[in-house]
Chains A and B, each alone.
Chain A
Amino acid sequence: MAAMAAWRAVRAVPCVPIVPAVTRPLHTTPARLKTRAARVRGGRGDKAVTYEMAHPPHYIAHRKGWLSLHTGNLDGEAGAAERAVEDAFLRRFLAGTFPGVLADAAVLKRRANLVVVCAVLARVLPPAKLYFLVGYTETLLSHFYKCPVRLELQTVPNKVIYKYL
């Protein structure tokens, strides 16, 4: 009886919908850790960092420049994704061919078809070995990407320390 009365009461109120059990899905994205990207943590005062590493990413265009320059990111231009993939591959390749020699991140510049890789190296290897590695990377990458790849190097006695964090 009470149930019947309740049901009639609910029917009498026109704006109360009888909602069955609805599942409410939650939209999630993979974890991104935006507050930890490209930042050097800690700070006992003995960690030496270069200018690149010392500035977190929100200083790009204010205190830092761009490490890779190409037209793919301009308005109305295509090819940004391809250039990004090429950049990632080139950086890993350099990290592998010059282990312990790279003093700082490599700067990639693209001029029409040509890719210019500007790297700063520490004076660890004798020049003969360095020349061999340079020739090896240039020919291999040119054949791989079918475009001329040029390596422009600068050697420093040791890493250029910006500050100690």
Chain B
Amino acid sequence: PPRTERMAVDQDWTSVYPTAAAFKPASVPLPIRMGYPVKRGVPPSKEGNLELIKIPNFLHLTPPAIKKHCAALKDFCTEWPSALDSDEKCEQHFPIETETTDYVSAGTSIRNPKARVVTLRVKLSKLNLDEHAKKKLIKLVGERYCKDTDILTITTDRCPLRRQNYDYGIHLLTVLYHESWKTEMWESEKSEEDMEEYIWENSRSQKNALDTLLRIKASENVSNVTEEELLASDLVNDYRNSVIALKNEGETENNMSRYKESVKKLLNVKA
């Protein structure tokens, strides 16, 4: 006679199913039926039911069993360091985030070639870079930099071992940092197309504005106003700011209205 007939209702289930095991119909006191029923019949009962054995069961993971697991594992755990209680502190002390993946599979071999990939993430604001170094680094790195979050991501997998890939990633970071601080001779040939953001000084817009203003002044027969005075005047400054905003941030309602106002004031057009 199966054991189920002698089981108490409040027995310790963790001793019946201590580990992951196949379904034993004589140990589980539930009247489970599984399978497709024959015509005008019922699904087959649990004795000798292969379907019930085939599926993975979680009878060994009831809440009391999990509580016991946690209690046993607690002795091996250490507490989170109390000094690192916020995200910012973590970032401040550990600016580089390393991401590695381990793979588990069923079979006789634990090796998995996908496990050697290492991803390093750094916020550029944590690195000591000046304007030129930051722009050069972003140009060197290309797609790996995300402007919205200011995070540089380096993914390496060209070495066969994970430790080698991690070392290679750190080496890349060091090399990038040092290279961006150096200025090569050919960098002075940087032209307008290479610029990342719009600079108004020495641009066509500045020349056109000054030209127009000089001609206006000449036609009004005002004494020769020098370029520096014009550049320092409020009108030209307004125009300069609105043009920079338009080019760098794109066309928004605000920017367009600012541009309109500044051009009207420049050309002295009262709407």
Contacts and interface: CB of A to CB of B under 8 A. Distances in A.
A111 B106 contact: yes
Contacts of A78: 105, 112
A92 B112 CA distance: 30
Nearest to B41: A163
A126 B35 CA distance: 31
B24 A154 contact: yes
Interface stretch (B42-50, B171-179, B185-193): B42-50
B50 A51 contact: yes
Contact of A51 (B20, B21, B44, B55): B44
Given A110-B106, A156-B47, A160-B47, A65 B36 contact: no
B25 interface: yes
A71 B105 contact: yes
Interface in A86-144: 103-105, 107, 109-113, 116, 118, 120
Contacts of B32: none
B220 to A, nearest CB: 76
Interface residues of A, number: 42
Given A67-B54, A120-B53, A160-B47, A79 B107 contact: yes
B22 A118 contact: yes
B109 interface: yes
A64 B51 contact: yes
A107 B107 contact: no
A63 interface: yes
B53 A118 contact: yes
A94 B217 CA distance: 105
A7 interface: no
Given A107-B53, A120-B48, A72 B107 contact: yes
Bin chain B's interface residue count. 20 to 34
B54 A65 contact: yes
A150 to B, nearest CB: 9
Interface string B104-115: 111111001010
Contact of B21 (A77, A152, A156): A152
B38 interface: yes
Given A65-B55, A154-B25, A52 B106 contact: no
A8 to B, nearest CB: 66
A116 B22 contact: yes
Contacts of A59: 36
A79 B49 contact: no
Given A107-B22, A116-B22, A82 B50 contact: no
A73 B48 CA distance: 27
A27 interface: no
A3 to B, nearest CB: 68
B16 to A, nearest CB: 14
Contacts of A71: 105-107
B81 interface: no
A152 B22 contact: yes
A79 B53 contact: no
Interface in B39-67: 44, 47-51, 53-56
B22 A65 contact: no
A160 B106 contact: no
The 7 closest A-B pairs by CB, nearest first: A110-B106, A65-B54, A160-B48, A156-B48, A118-B22, A70-B106, A71-B105
10 contacts: A51-B35, A51-B50, A63-B36, A72-B105, A78-B105, A104-B50, A120-B53, A145-B108, A146-B108, A154-B53
